[in-house]
Each structure stands twice: as C-alpha cells, then as structure tokens.
Amino acid sequence: MAETTYREALRLALTESMRSDPSIIILGEEVGKYGGAYGVTKGMLEEFGDARIRDTPISEEVIVGAAVGAAMTGLRPVAELMYIDFVTLAMDQLVNQAAKIRYMFGGQIGVPMVLRSQGGTGRSGAAQHSQSLEAWMMHTPGLHLAMPSTVTDAYHLLKHSLTLNDPVVFLEHKGLYTLKGTLEPDKALPWGKAEVRRQGGDCTLVSYSRMIHLCMDAAETLSKEGISVEVIDLRTLHPLDMQTVSESVSRTGRAMVVTEDCLTAGVSAELSARIMEEAFDFLEEPVVRLSGEDIPIPVSPQLEQGSVPGVERIMSTVRMLLRR
C-alpha cells in the first residue's frame, strides 16, 4: 500500500490494464503529448505510442463514435471527454448506439468501451463546464455508470470497467484529482456494491463522488453533538446497490440523499423514491433530498459554492431531520 493521488491512481489503472490487454486504446483531445485535460494520461504516450494513445480532433461526436466502432470490431477503447458538459454533443453515439447495440443485435455483439469524463463544481468553470449530468447517464438502459470518491475506488473501478463487455460511463469529479489517499490494491469491492464509509445509528446519508467527503466531514462534526450518522458511498449508480441502502435505513429510521446534480429529476429523486418503496415501514421521517440548485452554475466562486450542498447545509439538514 502506498499514498498516491486520485489522478495517479487512475493513471496506474490505465497503465496496468494496457500492459496486460493490448486491445485497450485511449482516444480524446490532447490525451497524448499534453497528457489529458487533467493530466491523467501524462507520460503514457511515451510508453504505448501514438497507435494506442490517439489525439483526436475537437469533436465529441468523432471521439465517441470512433470508440463505438472500434469496440464493435474487437478493441477496448477508452474515450476521454474533457468535460461531461460536452457529452451533449455525442448523445446519439452514446445513448442511441453504444447503449443499445447489444439489444439491437440480439446479444451477438457488444460495445466494450469506457467513456471517461469529469464534472462538478469547484473551479469557476461556469454554466457550460461545471455540470453534474450523471442523471442523464443513469436514465439510459444499457450504460454502466461509475463515480468513485476515493483513490482506491478510482483504481479498482476503472480497472474493472476495462474488463466489461458493455459501455461504462466513468465520471470523475474535477475537485478530486489532487485528493491524496492510500491505494489498497487488494481491497476492491464487488462491482456494483456500495460501501459503508462510516457507521451510525441516527440517520443514513447516501451519496457518491465528491459529496462523500463533505458527508464524512459533516458526520464527524455532528458526532461531537451526540448525533450518529451513517454514510453510504454508492460507488456505482448503475448497477445500483439498494440492498445496502435499505438495510442501513431500516436500522437508522431516517435517510437523506446528498448529491451535487440538480434537484429536479436528478439522482436524488430516484434514490429517495427507491428508499420510500423498499424501506417505508422502517422510516420515522420522510426521506430528505439535498442537491444542487436548479440553476446554471455561476462563475462567481461564492455563488458557485452556494449552488451545491456544503458541510454546513448537510449538518443543518440532518439536525432538521432529527428535530434537534
């Protein structure tokens, strides 16, 4: 075990996978000489060459479309989009092609590709470079969706994604790339299995990606007030591990879903509905949703910070839920 960063864990997962599987290629804007928009592929061109690390034109349709075609003909492409906001330019290729080809061809062929991108707030990227669009991906049958929050999960989830025979959307939060942590190469949980990051008895917080760290900070502070909060990291949104969530809520009797995406028709809406359906008899209060505001993300750092949940909002909402 060694301390590393989230960015380096992703690079290690890609490098190890490419060394063991010659069918894996990487394509995207500036993934070669520049090393990727956030430096994940830095240095990989020198090891694997430009036949496997392919710089592309500035065209998301081309990047995803080429990846779909390459996957159908026997390769395992990793397509990188600089920002998840730009997936809107390639929704036909991703949603109508990659996600549906196995079904359209009666299971005779799949699309074993990984679409890597990043989203979320924290860098004053404004309305077109700061969105959290995971609900769109989660809504589409045929797409796997992984959103790791830790160094170890970034490594293991990406390595596992590169072994699947169907498309995976792998979303990284721009605020996590410099996160440091201990990489535990033997710790991987089963694909689609959530992890209880912190145990508690008064309330269950359900989240993923960067919001997990805010939930953990809030839980630590609330513990000093005698409030015991359980924190569940979903790790993947498709498949979705509702069993772990339901078992936790059945013990605590209260649930709050914390996400960075928009409130209306967002991930929190699906999760809260599923909790109500699967753990209703154990709930002492209605499920509470704490999500991003239904607004374009502001460029102002102060307004941007206020547009998504923060530690203080999480704590005050937990107190409200517990009537403290």
Tell me the CATH number at 215: 3.40.50.920
83 and 218 assigned to the same domain: no
Strands 288-292 and 255-262: parallel
Nearest 5°: CA angle at 159, between 119 and 113? 70
- Domain boundary residue, one of 150, 183, 216: 183
Q: How far apart are CA 236 and CA 197, in angstroms?
A: 14
- Domain boundary residue, one of 183, 207, 229: 183
224 and 77 assigned to the same domain: no
Catalogue the active-site residues. 129
- For residue 160, give the 3-state DSSP assignment: helix
Q: How far apart are CA 13 and CA 267, in angstroms?
A: 27
Residue 61: per-residue pLDDT: 97
176 and 220 assigned to the same domain: no
| Residue range of the domain that includes 265 | 195-322
Residue 192 · residue 241 · CB < 8 Å: yes
Residue 188: per-residue pLDDT: 86
Tell me which DSSP letter residue 2 carries. E
205 and 71 assigned to the same domain: no
Distances (CA, A) of 227 to 67, 68, 230, 263, 318: 48, 49, 10, 26, 9
| Distance between first and last Cα of the chain | 41
Residue 1: per-residue pLDDT: 76
203 and 288 assigned to the same domain: yes
Residue 79 · residue 64 · CB < 8 Å: yes
Residue 27: per-residue pLDDT: 98
177 and 84 assigned to the same domain: yes
The Cβ of residue 259 has, within 10 Å, a number of other Cβ atoms equal to 27
Q: How far apart are CA 157 and CA 150, in angstroms?
A: 10
- Domain boundary residue, one of 183, 212, 242: 183
Residue 16: per-residue pLDDT: 98
188 domain residue, yes or no: no
pLDDT tens for the 324 residues of the chain, in order: 789 999 999 999 999 999 999 999 999 999 999 999 999 999 999 999 999 999 999 999 999 999 999 999 999 999 999 999 999 999 999 999 999 999 999 999 999 999 999 999 999 999 999 999 999 999 999 999 999 999 999 999 999 999 999 999 999 999 999 999 999 999 989 999 999 999 999 999 999 999 999 999 999 999 999 999 999 999 999 999 999 999 999 999 999 999 999 999 999 999 999 999 999 999 999 999 999 999 999 999 999 999 999 999 999 999 999 998
